[in-house]
Amino acid sequence: MPGDLIIGGGGSSAVATSELFSHAQNLDSIGSSLRDCLVELASIDRLVTATSLREADAPLGAAAAERAIRDATAVIAATRSRIDRLGAALVASAERYGEAEMRADRLAQLVAADLGYLFGLTLPSLALMLLPMVVGFAGGAATGIVLLPAGSRRALAAGLPEWFRKNSGGLSNPAVVEAVRLAVMSADDVGEGVLRLPPSLASLIGDEGLGIVGLGTSASVAVGVAGGFGALNETRVTVSSSTASTASPALTFAERAGRIPTGEAQVRVDRHWSVGEPDRFEVYIGGTRDFSVVRNDEPWDMTSNVTAIAGQQSGSLRAVQQAMTAAGVTSESPVVFSGYSQGGLIAAELAASGHYNAEGLFTLGAPAARVPVPASVPWLAVEHTDDLVPALGGTWSVSDPVLARRELFAGVPVDTSVAFPAHQLDAYRQTAALVDASGEARVERTLGELNAVGGAGSSVESTLYEATRSRAP
């Protein structure tokens, strides 16, 4: 069955399964009930004293009852004390686990950075040694592909998703996912090694230091290099809207996940309105639709993915901004962003931009770990530990959302009918429902802050927006 839901972050070092936090909350609830019992018994005991019983010439049974009250008080007090200690021990164990996990993650990132730097130092020498073989192989492969009929070339390109599908088992291994996350974070260290920067300077300016260069820098280099070959080139985008429809407010994380668009439209904007109050908005942003690196009609493509990770104005981000403007969102409008995959990355960048009055953020499977979302914005992020896509966003050290994670295929065969099975939106919607059911305090607090924007009693007008990319430069 799928792995346990693990919850961490959100301003706390505690990391543990939702079941453990549920036990701690249950113990706290029992402790509160016992404290109420003690208050009631103390009140009764003050009214019924040994002196009052003698003065009233009460029967011996009444005196026995008074002694029983005192005995019960002692037992309940001792039980409450044990429950309080057990609850504190559960929370302390979660905090220690979280602290140990953070130290392990930090150490792994430092080791990966050092290995990346060493690889960069040796890369020029390796390149000279291997260049004849690489050129020969690449030239032969390129010649072979060029000589293929057009239909065969298209079939070869179409076979890439099939390769990912057939190898989804190995690619969905949490260890592989974590290795990809660390490799992504080490890309800048490889460049620093190639440039032969002093190790101390490389450490200072990299992700592990001041963060002057990092994953965004590596993505920017990729955009620049690919642009010279006609790939990853941004273009203008336009947006058209559907007819508005009425809806009810989304009050759970599962309901928000269910509103993320999957059809032709990539963006949904819900306008919440109440008589005498300013409009409030919830914006839902879909995931990547096209994995091509060359321009076509779809802005939710790999060009937008890489451009967004580089921190630049991607086509999908500009499309969402246009949709928000068309819906009536201003810089003062309270807005909650929800997004899946690339849509989650865009949602995080909009919430971090400072251009909007972001009152909440909810992301699913988004490569958004390096987006500096302010701590003042309530954020719940959901990740599957066997999903490669969020790993492409690097490690969580810039922001501190409430992070809910689980291994989707723990103990069960990986679904090989689709590429990246742990990244499927339906699976994330199921996990969102588990997050709702967890009852964990940080989850409940974040949900309450998101729900405060729309309000259960507001009317909702929902509009879908479809964006199109221009093929012209």
Shared-domain flag, residues 394 and 337: yes
**Residue 228: inside a domain, yes or no?**
no
Lowest mean pLDDT segment, chosen from 111-120, 144-153, 201-210, 229-238: 144-153
Higher pLDDT, 441 or 337: 337
The conformation of residue 460, written as its DSSP 8-state character, comes to E
pLDDT band at 253 (very low <50, low <70, confident <90, very high): very high
Sign of torsion over alpha carbons 45, 51, 55, 60: positive
Residues 6+ apart with CB under 8 A from 319: 237, 239, 266, 267, 299, 465, 467
pLDDT of residue 1: 46
More confident residue, 270 or 29: 270
Q: In this structure, is residue 12 part of a structural domain?
A: no
Q: Which amino acid is at 243?
A: T
Quote the radius of gyration of the chain (alpha carbons, Å): 28
> Does residue 358 surpass a pLDDT of 90?
yes
Tell whether 208 and 308 lie within a shared domain: no
The first and second tokens of residue 179, run together, are: 């290795």
CA distance 354 to 403: 22
- Which range marks the domain in which residue 319 is found? 237-469
Are residue 340 and residue 456 in the same domain, yes or no?
A: yes
Band (pLDDT 50/70/90 cuts) for residue 417 is confident
Confidence of residue 462 (pLDDT cuts 50, 70, 90): very high
Shared domain for 322 and 279, answered yes or no, is yes
Could you report the per-residue pLDDT of 38-64, keeping only the tens digit for each? 677 677 766 665 666 555 555 555 556
**406 within some domain:** yes
* Same-domain check for residues 327 and 287: yes
Q: Lowest-pLDDT range, 143-157, 304-318, 365-379? A: 143-157
On the question of pLDDT at 213 being above 80, the answer is no
How many domains does the chain contain in total?
A: 3
Residue 147 pLDDT > 60: no
pLDDT for the residue numbered 433: 97
Mean pLDDT of the chain, nearest integer? 81
What DSSP string describes 99-127?
HHHHHHHHHHHHHHHHHHHHHHHHHHHHH
Same domain, 49 and 194: no
Beta strands at 459-469 and 245-247: parallel, antiparallel or unpaired: antiparallel
Where a domain ends, among 101, 129, 161? Answer: 101
Residue 190 belongs to a domain: yes
Spacing of C-alpha 448 from chain mean position:
18
* pLDDT recorded at residue 138: 44
Q: What band does 279 get if pLDDT is binned at 50, 70 and 90?
A: very high
Looking at the fold, whether 162 and 145 belong to one and the same domain comes out as yes
Q: Are residues 199 and 317 in the same domain?
A: no
- 264 and 452 in contact (C-beta within 8 Å)? no
Asked, for residue 220, whether it belongs to a domain, the answer is no
Q: For residue 108, how many C-alpha atoms fall within 13 Å in the half-sphere facing its CB?
A: 19
**169 and 286 both lie in a single domain:** no
CA 224 to CA 169: how far, in whole Å? 33
Q: Are residues 325 and 184 in the same domain?
A: no
Structural domain contains residue 287: yes
Residue 8 lies in a domain: no
Contact present, 404 and 381 (Cβ < 8 Å) = yes
Domain boundary among 101, 127, 161: 101
Cβ atoms of 428 and 170 closer than 8 Å = no
State the Cα–Cα distance between residues 435 and 309, nearest whole angstrom: 27
| Whether residue 47 sits in one domain with residue 141 | no
Dihedral sign computed on CA atoms, order 251, 252, 254, 260? positive
**Residue 9: inside a domain:** no
The Cβ of residue 117 has, within 10 Å, a number of other Cβ atoms equal to 23
Domain end, chosen from 183, 214, 245, is at: 214
Q: At what angle do helices 342-352 and 315-327 cross, to 10 degrees?
A: 60
Tell whether 59 and 110 lie within a shared domain: no
